[in-house]
Amino acid sequence: MDRPPIEDGLIVIADGRIVALGRAGEVVADSVEDIGDTILIPGLINAHTHLELGWCRGLIPPCPLWEWFDELIRLNRLPEAEENRRRSIAAGAAESLAAGVTCVADISRTGASAAILRSSPIRSRCYVELITGAQTPPNNAASLEARLSGLLSADGAQSRLGISPHAPYSVSEADLSGCADLAARLDLPLMLHLLETPEERDWFRQGGGAVADYLARHKLKHPEPSAPQEAIELLARTGILSRAPLLAHVNYVTDSQIGRLREAGASVVWCPRTHDYFGHEPHRWRDMLAAGINVCFGTDSLASAPSLSVIAEVRHVGRLSPDTSASTLLECATIRAAAALQLDSVVGSLTIGKDADMTAFPWTTDGDVEPAKNLIHSGKPVEKTWIRGETIHRTPPQN
C-alpha cells in the first residue's frame, strides 16, 4: 500500500513484526514458507461495524432508517437480546477473520465487546457509544467516563478503546463537548454517525420531521436546532471536529462541508452495501478523496449488511465504479482505514517495523496482470490470514 507490488516477494518476520521485505533472492531468511501463487496484502480493516447486532441478520427488511431503528430497539428489548448480543460479538470476530479482516472498529453500546474481543486474536478498536437520555448508560458524559474507566485498565496492544457519541441529533451539545473533552484527556479517538439521511440534514436546517418524531417516540430529550444550523458547525463548536474524528456514512453533504471536513483532518468511513440497503442517493466518496479527505470502507452491522467481508465491499464498489483505481479501493480497506483508526503506525501496509497482519488471496491465472485488479475481479475468497505473523485462518482447498 506504500509502494508498487513486489513480484516473487519475501517478507521476514520476527517477534510479530516485519523486519525485512523485497524480492526473493535479495532478502535473507533463516526459513521460508512458500505460499505459492498468491497476492499478499495487508490485513483488511473494517472501519465501521456493530458486531453486537449480528443476531439481527435478516430480521429487518430494507426500510427507512427511522423505521429500522424502531424495529432494532424492539428486538434489543427482548429477554434473549443480551445473550444474543454477546454471542454475536464472538461470532462476528470469527466471521471477520475468515473473510481476511484482521482489525475491526466496533461500536458497542455498553463496551461489552471490548472484553469479548480481547479473547479473540482479531485486532480491535472498541468505541463505547453514548446516546443522551437513553434508558441504559452510557446516557450522558459522566456515565460514559465511568464506563471507560472500568475498561481502560485492560486496554492492550491488540484491543484499544475509542469514544462514540452516536450522532449529533441523539447526543446533546453538552455531551458532545464532554466527549471531546474525554477524548482529549484520555487520548482516545472519536467516531460518530453524521448526515446519514436527508431527514437528519433537514432537521438541522429547520427542525421537525422524522428526526424529531423519532426522538419524541423514544423519549430522547434533545432541543430542536436553532435553524438554520449546520451539523458540522455543531461539531466544531463542541470541539469534536478538533479531534480529527472518524465520521460514519456522511451520505448527504455539500461542497462547503466537504471542505470543512478536509480542513479539520476528519476521516470518512463509507459502508457501500448498507448504503444500498437503505436506498440512499449516490455517495460522494470520490469527491471526498479528490478533496483530500481520508476515506475508508466499513460494513456496518449484519442488521443491514449481508456479511462482514470488507473485500466484498471493495468488490461491490469496484463494480459500481469501474473507472476507480483498484489500488485506491484496496487502500480504502487497509492503510486509509488504519489511519482513520489512528493505527497506521502499527498496521495497514506491509512496511518494515509494522506488525505482520496480512491476508493472502489466490492469484487468478487468467485474470488481470495488475495484482490489485486481479484480486478484486476474481471474486475468490481469502486463502490465509496472519496477525502478528501467526496463522489465524486458512481456507480449506476447494475441489
pLDDT of residue 150: 86
Q: How far apart are CA 216 and CA 212, in angstroms?
A: 6
pLDDT digits (tens, 9 = 90+) for 257-301: 999 999 999 999 999 999 999 999 999 999 999 999 999 999 999
pLDDT digits (tens, 9 = 90+) for 252-268: 999 999 999 999 999 99
Judge if 124 and 228 occupy the same domain.
yes
pTM: 0.96
Asked if 319 contacts 311 with a C-beta cutoff of 8 angstroms, the reply is no
In a domain, residue 50? The reply is yes
pLDDT digits (tens, 9 = 90+) for 16-62: 999 999 999 899 888 899 999 999 999 999 999 999 999 999 999 99
Judge if 230 and 321 occupy the same domain.
yes
Judge if 110 and 233 occupy the same domain.
yes
In the chain, the amino acid numbered 65 is L
Residues in contact with 90: Cβ distance below 8 Å, sequence separation at least 6, in sequence order: 116, 119, 120
Q: Give φ, ψ of 330 to 5 degrees.
A: -70, -35
Q: How far apart are CA 394 and CA 374, in angstroms?
A: 20
> Percentage of the chain surpassing pLDDT 70?
98
Taking each helix axis from N to C end, the angle separating 141-152 and 173-186, rounded to the nearest 10 degrees, works out to 20
In a domain, residue 229? The reply is yes
DSSP 380: P
In a domain, residue 303? The reply is yes
Q: Specify the CATH number for the domain of residue 104.
A: 3.20.20.140
In a domain, residue 326? The reply is yes
Q: How far apart are CA 86 and CA 75, in angstroms?
A: 14
Q: How far apart are CA 56 and CA 74, in angstroms?
A: 11
pLDDT of residue 225: 73
Judge if 241 and 378 occupy the same domain.
no
Judge if 168 and 275 occupy the same domain.
yes
pLDDT of residue 157: 73
Domain boundary among 297, 318, 340: 340
In a domain, residue 3? The reply is no
Average pLDDT, the chain: 94
Cell of 290: 479528490
Q: How far apart are CA 282 and CA 269, in angstroms?
A: 15
Query: 284, 373, 283: which is closest to 328 by C-alpha?
Result: 373
pLDDT digits (tens, 9 = 90+) for 144-200: 999 999 898 766 778 899 999 999 999 999 999 999 999 999 999 999 999 999 999
Judge if 282 and 379 occupy the same domain.
no
DSSP 157: S
Q: How far apart are CA 330 and CA 266, in angstroms?
A: 20
Q: How far apart are CA 93 and CA 121, in angstroms?
A: 9
User: Could you count the other beta carbons within 10 Å of the beta carbon of residue 7?
Assistant: 8
Cell of 187: 487520548
Judge if 201 and 319 occupy the same domain.
yes
Q: Specify the CATH number for the domain of residue 379.
A: 2.30.40.10
Judge if 366 and 262 occupy the same domain.
no
Q: How far apart are CA 289 and CA 395, in angstroms?
A: 34
Longest dimension (CA), the chain: 67
Judge if 19 and 76 occupy the same domain.
no
Host domain of residue 296: 44-340
Judge if 237 and 375 occupy the same domain.
no
Residue with cell 453486537: 52
pLDDT digits (tens, 9 = 90+) for 95-127: 999 999 999 999 999 898 998 999 999 999 999
Q: How many domains does the chain contain in total?
A: 2
In a domain, residue 346? The reply is no
Residue with cell 469534536: 240
Judge if 97 and 220 occupy the same domain.
yes
In a domain, residue 2? The reply is no
pLDDT digits (tens, 9 = 90+) for 305-357: 999 999 999 999 999 999 999 999 999 999 999 999 999 999 999 999 999 99
Domain boundary among 318, 340, 362: 340
